[in-house]
A and B are shown apart, each in its own frame.
Chain A
């Protein structure tokens, strides 16, 4: 590899110099510094990724696991899942959940960020502290809390909803029906995701020049129009990044579902990550699971293409 070592030294010293040892050292230095990290990433990331794609073209069951060798079957795994009616239900369910969760997270997160601009100082501090507190709760802990809150017998949610005369919720089992089950799940995921979105958007809002907002107000723009015509375009990069990250996180939802349903989710609750996990670790069809995982990764890349392009085009990569 021809290394172009462009030193950061002052310009005066950057004359054409003989091929000294020091110069060679400077050319090699960055590669030497990166080598350990690259090696580790190659072993723990690149090779497993290659293996994932390879396995998706193989029959890899329990006997292959013992022999440490899969049997090449071409695109059989892919045609099997693509012709499987259940797979398309799973994809649809995952997409619906992602759209609902990401939409709610973005709208509510932005609303709270805007609210943070309006409230008084002490409220701002209290609200930000509360958000950070929610942010710091590990997912597993959050799932346990929500399980307890919606407990069918002694849960605080059922009691409150009954008292509010929204219907009779005593002994109501939220997970008996997949729609209400996914409702609870969405609430849990959105609750955990709001702090990150709110705090990031709030930081972005603080950078919007006051003059622009004042100018819009002088021109008679209503608050909503100011937000749409001035604030939104300025914050667009932040929104794109936040939405893409949320898509990535919500599309691969696994832990919340898995623990909520005691590690035995019924097929009504399969999302793509659960489906891939189920096929590989419960049924033992690792090749099939790998194919599902590859499709999942491709769908996610497709959904976040805007983000990737923006990242590569704008100043992020320098």
Chain B
């Protein structure tokens, strides 16, 4: 830009530099506080509403703090039809999806990270590319294929519309590519030399795998399964389109239908909304603690 070096700017104010810096920092902190309050307020408002009694919720002037906290909204939400069914269904779907995709992805990412073979690069490109395909586009052919599979004898035990197992298979469309990609990254992070050293010391390839690679990969496996868990737990469209029977719906579909059935009953709705993300946040909290200690 300019050919000559500009002189260091001279402070126009007489305040000593450190103090001025402290003032500026306080200004940034204030701005940070404003941003924090704006970002977190919706979550606070959900939790606050969930603990308020009905007449405090339906007041024209907002009541900013739940001054008369009550658990009745939570009781209402839990006693709502099919709540426990939905919790059970969500847990079944998510646990099976995470387990399946972790096993499949681990094998595939092992091949991608540890071997050089013909077709490897195109497979990686494929894995990245398919993550761009929108689920909303895939849902049309998936529906056609599932309704056809449901009419085939033998297949209809697993696949078909309105089946949890069908939803589990479909969840692999978005969880599996993502899991392969993430696990491959973690595998590449483990230094090759460690395994080689173990093999030089006389361990077999399998022994090196079990004693060296797996323990080092532990945190990566945990992190990947949490990401997969959250993705599957929060999914809505597939569950909404494919699960018609109320007994088979997952928690997100339950919450969405809660909205349409009792649109203005905000207390129990907010209590239900507060409960919905719990398992995924708990799993991420506990495991982040666990991986730190491990």
Contacts and interface: CB of A to CB of B under 8 A. Distances in A.
Contact of A44 (B32, B49, B123, B173): B173
Nearest to B38: A191
Interface in B73-119: 104-105, 107-108, 110-112, 114-119
A84 interface: no
B273 A141 contact: yes
A91 interface: no
A119 interface: yes
Interface string A103-145: 0000000001001101110011011001101101111111011
A118 B30 CA distance: 11
A112 B176 contact: no
Nearest to A46: B130
Interface residues of B, number: 95
B259 A147 contact: yes
Among A41, A51, A156, A170, max chain B CB count under 10 A is at A41
Interface string A142-160: 1011111101011010011
Contact of A191 (B42, B136, B269): B42
Interface stretch (A177-185, A199-207, A254-262): A254-262
Interface in B122-144: 123-125, 128-130, 132-144
A115 B35 contact: yes
Contact of B28 (A119, A142, A191): A119
Interface string A1-26: 11111101010000000000000001
Nearest to B9: A220
A25 to B, nearest CB: 11
Given A220-B6, A317-B121, A293 B276 contact: no
A232 interface: no
B281 interface: yes
B60 interface: yes
Contacts of A37: 104-105, 107-108, 176, 180
Contacts of A301: 132
Contacts of B136: 252, 254, 273, 276-277, 293, 296
B255 interface: yes
B138 A3 contact: no
B223 to A, nearest CB: 14
Nearest to B281: A136
Contact of B132 (A51, A248, A263): A248
B148 A68 contact: yes
Interface of B: 2, 5-9, 25, 28-29, 31-33, 35-36, 39-40, 42-43, 45-46, 49, 57-62, 104-105, 107-108, 110-112, 114-121, 123-125, 128-130, 132-145, 147-148, 151, 169-170, 172-173, 176-177, 180, 192, 196, 230, 233-234, 236-237, 241, 252, 255-256, 259-260, 263, 266, 269-270, 273, 276-277, 280-281, 284
Interface of A: 1-6, 8, 10, 26-27, 29-31, 33-34, 36-38, 40-41, 43-45, 47-49, 51-52, 55, 60, 65, 68, 112, 115-116, 118-120, 123-124, 126-127, 130-131, 133-134, 136-142, 144-149, 151, 153-154, 156, 159-160, 170, 191, 194-195, 218-220, 248, 251-252, 254-255, 259, 262-263, 273, 276-277, 280-281, 286, 289-290, 293-294, 296-297, 300-301, 304, 308, 311-312, 316-317
25 contacts: A4-B118, A30-B111, A34-B123, A37-B105, A41-B130, A41-B176, A45-B173, A48-B173, A52-B140, A65-B147, A115-B31, A116-B32, A119-B29, A127-B32, A130-B36, A130-B39, A145-B45, A149-B45, A154-B57, A159-B61, A251-B134, A263-B260, A296-B137, A297-B133, A300-B132
